[in-house]
Amino acid sequence: MRKTLKIVSLIALFAILATVLVACIPNDPAKAEDNLKNAKYTVFAYKDGDVGFDAATVFLEIIGVKNVTAFVTATKGEDGIALIYFEDSAAAKENYTAIEEYYKEEDKDAVIKRSGKVIYAGTEQAIKDVK
């Protein structure tokens, strides 16, 4: 009985780990952009130094978000997502509250999460499509 329980527990653990490792938001904005384009989203992506980066991120600065290194937005029909990339996970953690407060006021249905150095907000389907 104990041996069977250990085997079942190990199988469940491996299944959970496999899901977590496979189902992660890309840490590379170019990868996120590619995933969304492959899913037929209209994508706008800017990284620090690109023409238009400052204009694309001025809104973030207005709501108090700093240290952004890249910004990806995508829409397809009713689905959409915004991914905001930071210098490191500490910067993402520091800016999470400002982004969360904005979305609570502007888009109550949005799912808002942080993964490493990325904060993302969007519909469940768009989040699935970017992974």
* 89-130 confidence digits (pLDDT tens): 999 999 999 999 998 888 888 999 999 999 999 999 999 999
Q: What percent of the chain has pLDDT over 70?
A: 82
Q: Is residue 7 included in any domain, yes or no? A: no
Range of the domain at 82: 24-130
Domains contained in the chain, number = 1
User: Which pTM value belongs to this model?
Assistant: 0.80
Q: What percent of the chain has pLDDT over 90?
A: 64
Q: Is residue 11 included in any domain, yes or no? A: no
DSSP three-state, residue 1: coil
DSSP H helices, 1-131, are 2-22, 29-38, 53-62, 89-106, 124-130
CATH (domain of 56): 3.40.1720
Taking alpha carbons only, the member of 29, 46, 103, 94 closest to residue 66 is 94
